[in-house]
Amino acid sequence: MVISPFILLLISVGVGYLSSNSSSNSEPEIAVISHTPAVTATKVTKTTDAFTSKSMSEATAKRKLHDNDLDGYVVISQQKSGRLTAKYTGNKKMSAATQTGLIAFLQKSQQAQNIMDSKVTARQLTTLSRQPSITQHVNNQGKSDNETYKVVAFYLLVVMAYFILLTYSTITAQEIAQDKGTKIIEIIFSSTTAQKYFFGKLLGIMGVICTQIAIYVVGGYLSFNIAKVGGDFKELINDNSHLIHMVIGNLINVNLLFVFLGVVIYTILSAFSGALVAKAEDANKAATPAIYICLAAFLLSFSFIDNPTSVVTQILSFVPFMSSFFMPIRVIDGSVSGAGIGLSLIILIVTIGAMAYYISSIYEGLMLQSDNSSFWNRFKRGLKYGNK
Amino acid sequence: MLSVNNVSKQFDQVKALSNVNFSINDGTILGLIGQNGAGKTTLFHSTLNFISHDGEILWNGEPITEKSFDEVGYLPEERSLLPKMTIEQQVTYLAALKGMPAKMVSQKLPGWMKKFEVKGKPTDKIKDLSKGNQQKVQLICTLIHDPKFIILDEPFSGLDPVNASLLKAAILEAKANGATIIFSSHDMNNVEEICDELVMLKDGHVVLHGPVNQVRNQYPRTKLIISPTIPISDVATIPGVIDAKQFSDHYQLTLSSEEVGKVVFKRVSNGEYIETFSQQAPSLDEIFRMKVGEIDE
C-alpha cells in the first residue's frame, strides 16, 4: 500500500517511454517530391516530423505507397502564373498538424516568390511588410504562475489528505470493529484498560501514517533529485523550477499540520464508529460515517477552490472535519490572517482533545455492548453499559 | 481469594444480578451454573470490572484493576481470535498484554500445544485451524502466563469428550499450582467431576451455593435406581412412589421421602437377592432442573 504511488510512478514513466519510442518508430511517413527549385523537398521535410527526409521520385513514392511503405506523398509544383501547388496522395488523411505546417511553409515561400516577381524596391518592401504592434502590460508580474501553483498545491494537498484519511479511517474502523466483533476485546480489556487500548490504537495508526508520509517525503525528494539530474523530466523540472518550489512551499507549511490534525480527528471518529458495530461481519460498514463526511468535505472543497474568500469557505475553514480541507484553500490563497489560522487550529485541537477524552471515557461500554439494534440504540446502550 | 459481596446489576428493566454473595478460597475450583440469561456472564464482566455494579467484588482484598490484570486469565464465552494471525502471533500478542515476553512465549508454546494436542504448527494461521483447535489455542492464550485467577466462560462448550478431558486435566493442574478458578458450564457432569464448590444462579439470584457434595446432600435421598425383578406397574403403585420410569436395564423411581425406600426394598427383594438397589440424592443435573423449575422440587 505504502509503495503503490512509487509503483504507479514507475509504471507511468515506463508507459511514457514505450509510447514515445513507439511513436518515434511509427513508420511509414509522407514523402515530399518537389518539381520547383523555389521550394526544395529538403526544406519542406524539415517543417514537421511527419515527412520523411528520404528523397525519391514520384514513381518511387507511388510504388512505396502501394506497398504500404509510405502513408502518402506530396507533389509540389509551380504553375506558370507563379502559383505554388501541393497535391497530396495517400492511404490515409494528412493530419491537421502536418497540413497546417505545410500550408504555413508554402505561404511563406509563395510570399517570397511574390515579392521577387513584383520587383518592388526595398522601401516598398518595407512598407508592404509593415505589421501592427500589440504590446501587453500586466500588473503583478507572474500572477499566472501564482494562480497555477495555488491550484497545483491545493490539488496535491487535498488529494493526499483525502486518500490518507480514506485509507486510514477505513483501516481504523475495520480493525476496531473486528476486535469488537470477534470478542477478542473482552480478553484485551481483561489485560489493559479501554483508555489505553483506545489511545494505543490511535498512536499505532498515527505511527503508520507518519511512517507513510516520511517514506513519501524521502521517496519524493530522491525521485525529484534523480529526475533533475537526467532523464525525460530534466527539462520539465528546470523550466518549472519556480512553480515547483512554490508548490512545495505551500505543502510543507501550516497546511501539513491541518492535514495531520484532519487525519487525527477522522481516525478518532473511525475508532468511535468501529466501536459501534455489532458483529465482525459489519466491520466494512464501520468506516461509513467517516468516509461520508470526508467525501463531503473533499467534494465541497473542490467547489470552493476558485472562491477562497466566500462566506462558505470562511465558515467551513473553522469547522472541525471541514477545516483540514478549507483552511488550506485560504492559506494558499493568502486571504487569511495568522490569527485566523491560529483560531482554526485551536478549535480543531480542542475538538480533538474533547472527542478523545469523551470517547475514551465511554469506550469500554461501547466496545462491550453487543446489541444488534440501531446505531443510536447501540450508542445509548454502550453509554449505560460502561457507566461506572 | 475472591469475595463477591452484595453485587447487583440492572440493565434497563432487567435485573441481571441481585445481591449476589459468595467467596472462593485460593486453590479452589468453583462452578457457576445457571440457565442462559441467569447472569453468569454479567457476573464475570462485573468481576473483571468491565461494567459498573452495586456491591463489591474483591480479588485478594482489592477490586480487579490494571494492577492485577496480569494475574487474571479470562476465556470469554464466544471464541475470539484474530483469524489472519498465526497461532504464535496470536498467543504472543495476548500474552504480551499480560506482560509475558515474546521469547518466553516461543519457549512455552510448543509444550502447551502438545498438552492440548493442537494439530498444527505455531506458524499455522488461526483461520486454517478446525473449530476445536481454535478453541484449544484460545485456552492456551488464557493459561500460558500462569494466571493466579482464572475465569472460564463456558470452556467446555463445543469440545468433544476427549478434548474436554484435556481441559479438565489443565484446570486441575492450574488448581494444583495454586490458581483460583471459576468457570460456567451447562454440563453438570463437568461441575460434579472437578469443582470443589458451586454457585447456581437463577434470574440473577444465587439459589444454591456451597461445596458440591454438601449441596447434593442437602437433598433427601429420594432417587431410587433398581434392577427390574417385578413389573414396573407393581412398583409404581407402592404408596410414596411419586414417579416411576422404565429404562432398558433398570427402573428409576422418585420417592416422596427417604423412608419409602425401605418399603420399596422389601417389595422388590422379597427376601431374595437383588442386582441393583441404589438410593441416592438427586444428581446435580436434577437439582439444577428442580431449581430452574423444569421439574417440581
pLDDT per residue as tens digits for the range B99-122: 999 999 999 999 999 999 998 899
Cβ neighbours of residue B32 under 8 Å, at least 6 residues apart? B40, B43, B182, B183, B184, B185, B198, B199, B201
Domains and CATH numbers, chain A: 29-126 (3.40.190), 145-385 (no CATH)
Domain coordinates of chain B in residue numbers?
2-217, 223-280
| pLDDT for position A146 | 63
The tens digit of pLDDT for each residue in B183-234 reads 998 888 888 889 999 999 988 999 889 998 888 888 888 899 998 778 888 8
Searching chain A, which residue's CA lies closest to the CA of residue B72?
A190
Which of A183, A365, A386 lies at the smallest CB-CB distance from B80? Answer: A183
pLDDT surpassing 60 at residue B124 = yes
What pLDDT is recorded for position A280? 67
CB proximity A367 to B under 8 Å:
no
What CA–CA distance (Å, rounded) separates A189 from A179? 11
SS3 B179: coil
- Rounded CA-CA distance B48/B57 in Å is 9
Q: Would you state the pLDDT for residue A20?
A: 57
Contact B69 A191 (CB under 8 A): yes
> Percent of chain A having pLDDT more than 70?
85
- The string of pLDDT tens digits covering residues A253-304 is 788 888 888 888 998 988 888 888 877 677 777 788 888 888 898 888 888 8
Smallest Cα distance from A5 to chain B, Å:
26
Nearest by CB to A368, from B12, B50, B151: name it: B50
Q: What's the burial of A346, exposed, middle or buried (CB within 10 Å: 0-12/13-18/19+)?
A: exposed
List CB contacts (< 8 A) between B81 and chain A.
182, 184
How many angstroms away from the CA of A355 is the closest CA of chain B?
A: 22
Q: B11 and A384 in contact by Cβ < 8 A?
A: yes
As a three-state string, the secondary structure of chain A is: CCCHHHHHHHHHHHHHHHHHHHHHCCCCEEEEEECCCCCCHHHHHCCCCCECCCCCCHHHHHHHHHCCCEEEEEEEEECCCCCEEEEEEECCCCCHHHHHHHHHHHHHHHHHHHHHHHCCCHHHHHHHCCCCCCCCCCCCCCHHHHHHHHHHHHHHHHHHHHHHHHHHHHHHHHHHHHHHHCCHHHHHHCCCCHHHHHHHHHHHHHHHHHHHHHHHHHHHHHHHHHHHHCCCCHHHHHHCHHHHHHHHHHHCCHHHHHHHHHHHHHHHHHHHHHCCCCCHHHHHHCCHHHHHHHHHHHHHHHHCCCCCCCHHHHHHCCCCCCHHHHHHHHHHHCCCCHHHHHHHHHHHHHHHHHHHHHHHHHHHHHHHCCCCCCHHHHHHHHHHHCCC
Question: Which amino acid type is present at position A358?
Answer: Y
The distance in angstroms from the start CA to the end CA of chain B is 33
Q: Is the pLDDT of residue A102 over 90?
A: no
Express as a percent the part of chain B with pLDDT over 70.
99
CA nearest to A200 within chain B: B97
Confidence of residue B297 (pLDDT cuts 50, 70, 90): very low
> Measured between beta carbons, which residues in chain A are less than 8 angstroms from residue B77?
183
Tallying the residues shown for chain A, one arrives at: 388
Contact yes or no for A183 and B74 at CB 8 A:
no
| Pairing, β B251-255 against β B223-226 | antiparallel
Query: Is A385 in Cβ contact with B51 (below 8 Å)?
Result: yes
Integer Cα distance of A268 and A284 in angstroms: 17
Strand partners, B160: none
Q: What are phi and psi of B18, to 5 degrees?
A: -135, 110
What per-residue confidence (pLDDT) applies to B296?
44
Contact A189 B78 (CB under 8 A): no
Asked whether the beta carbons of A334 and A327 are under 8 A apart, the reply is: no
Average pLDDT over residues A172-198: 87
ipTM of the complex: 0.81
pLDDT given for residue A219 in this prediction? 84
pLDDT of residue B58: 92
Residue B244 vs residues B6, B95, B234, B252, B282: alpha-carbon distances, Å: 42, 54, 10, 6, 15
Option in A186, A187, A387 nearest B52 (CB):
A387
pLDDT tier, A386 (very low <50, low <70, confident <90, very high otherwise): low
Q: What is the predicted pLDDT for the residue at B28?
A: 93
Q: Does A205 touch chain B (CB under 8 A)?
A: no
Full-prediction pTM beyond 0.90? no
Mutation site, A175, A176, A183, A190, interface B, largest B CB count within 10 A? A190
Our CA-based measurement puts residue A369 at a distance from the nearest CA of chain B, in whole angstroms, of 10
pLDDT tens readout for residues A201-257: 889 888 888 888 888 888 878 877 777 776 667 777 777 777 777 777 777 778 888
What's the whole-number mean pLDDT along residues A23-49?
74
Tens-place pLDDT, residues B278-291? 998 888 888 888 87
Give whole-number Cα distances, A8 to A13, A161, A328, B218, in Å: 9, 18, 26, 77
Q: What is the pLDDT of residue A18?
A: 64
Cβ contact, residue pair B12, A384, below 8 Å: yes
B211 or A112: whose pLDDT is higher? Answer: B211
Whether residues A364 and B50 touch (CB distance < 8 A) is answered with yes
What's the pLDDT at A22? 55
How close B78 gets to chain A, by Cα (Å)? Answer: 7
Note whether A193 contacts B66, CB cutoff 8 Å. Answer: yes
B80/A186 touch (CB, cutoff 8 Å), yes or no: yes
Query: Nearest-CA residue of chain A relative to B145?
Result: A191
Do residue A384 and residue B81 have CB atoms under 8 angstroms apart? no
Considering only CB atoms, which chain B residues are within 8 Å of A184?
Answer: 80-82, 94
- Is A182 within 8 Å of B82 when comparing Cβ atoms? yes
For residue A189, the chain B residues in CB contact (below 8 A) are 48, 50
Exposed/middle/buried for B199, CB within 10 Å: 0-12, 13-18, 19+? buried
What would the mean pLDDT of A21-35 be, rounded to a whole number? Answer: 70
Between CA A44 and CA A98 the distance in angstroms is 11
pLDDT over threshold 90, residue A381: no
**Residue A161 distance to chain B (closest CA, Å):** 29
Report residue A124's pLDDT band, with 50, 70 and 90 as the boundaries: confident
> How far apart, in Å, are the Cα atoms of B126 and each of A175, A183, B88?
17, 15, 9
Does A368 sit within 8 Å of B78, measured CB to CB? no
CA atoms within 13 A on the CB side of A282: 18
In this structure, of A86-90, B11-15, B122-126, B171-175, the range with the lowest mean pLDDT score is B11-15
Residue B178: how many CA atoms within 13 Å on its side-chain side? 4
pLDDT at A384: 65
- Please list, in sequence order, all residues whose beta carbon lies within 8 angstroms of the beta carbon of residue B57, skipping any fewer than 6 positions away: B2, B3, B4, B5, B7, B46, B47, B49, B63, B64
The residues pairing with B253 across neighbouring beta strands, listed in sequence order, are: B224, B244
Q: What is the pLDDT of residue B248?
A: 87
Distance from CA of B179 to the nearest CA of A (A): 17
Please state which architecture CATH assigns to domain B2-217: 3-Layer(aba) Sandwich (3.40)
Q: Which residue type, as a one-letter code, is found at position A306? A: D
Is the CA virtual torsion B12, B13, B19, B25 positive or negative? negative
- What pLDDT is recorded for position A17? 62
Using the predicted structure, report yes or no on whether residue A44 has a pLDDT greater than 50: yes
Question: Is A368 in contact with B45 (Cβ distance < 8 A)?
Answer: yes
- Minimum Cα–Cα distance from B77: chain A residue: A183
Q: Which residue of A has its CA nearest to B95?
A: A191
In this prediction, residue A147 has a pLDDT band, given cuts at 50, 70 and 90, of low
The confidence band for B175, taking pLDDT boundaries of 50, 70 and 90, is very high
Query: Within an 8 Å CB–CB cutoff, is residue A365 touching chain B?
Result: yes
**What pLDDT, on the 0 to 100 scale, is given for residue B295?**
45
Q: What is the mean pLDDT of residues A342-347?
A: 94
Q: Which of B66, B81, B151 is closest, CB to CB, to A192?
A: B66
Nearest CB partner across the interface for A183, out of B11, B69, B76? B76
Which helix (H) or strand (E) segment holds residue B277: the answer is strand B277-280
Dmax over CA atoms of chain B, in Å, equals 72
The predicted structure's pLDDT at residue B94: 93
For residue A210, give the C-alpha cell. 507518519
